[in-house]
Amino acid sequence: MSRSSVVAKRYAKAIFDIARDQNLVSETETQLKQIVDALEKNPDFKTFLSSPSILPETKIKALEGSFGGKLLPFIVNSVGLLIERGRQNELPAVVDAYLEVAGNAIGRADAYVASAQPLTLNEKDQLAKKFGALLGKTVRVHDTVDSSLLGGLTVRIGDTLYDGSLRTKLNRLDKALQSSAK
């Protein structure tokens, strides 16, 4: 396990413990995602937070100000600790770890689905039910379109990849035919 993932999991666990104690698990997830989205959409802000020439207090105030002072205090404190320790680039990993920790605690999993064509709401519901029954959890489906799959889909839940793509099936068939021809 890399050092950064250990750090991210520690922060995520601490943030989750506070969020659970204050009954703010969902709100915390939303705010953490908003911060990461803001950093990804605004490279200048990301550069600002990473700049060693700017005092951490100034960075934290700017972060609070950019969200209109609406961030939960413990989120500001947690992100502030990351900034003070020069680990602001770990924030996306902290959010991913938070989603995992919170999901495990409340019996939820996130399924990241890639398909060759956009999924309908019914197909998303069916996937959520199927994988929910398999895992014994409530599953949220996050879908993207990947035309390189040719057909079928891939589903990633945590560290597990379920690959039902036509591309992979064709590759397996090709390998089987090549090995039988030898």
Per-residue pLDDT band at 1 (split at 50, 70, 90)? very low
Model pLDDT for residues 16-72, shown as the tens digit of each residue? 999 999 999 999 999 999 999 998 999 898 899 889 999 999 999 998 988 888 999
Model pLDDT for residues 126-154, shown as the tens digit of each residue? 999 999 999 999 999 999 999 888 888 99
In contact, 79 and 85? CB cutoff 8 Å: no
Length of the chain: 182
Question: Is 0.75 topped by the overall pTM?
Answer: no
Spatial distance between the Cα atoms of 11 and 90, rounded to a whole number of angstroms: 10
The 8-class DSSP code of residue 136 comes to T
**The pLDDT value given to residue 3:** 52
Structural domains of the chain, with CATH = 3-103 (1.10.520.20), 108-181 (no CATH)
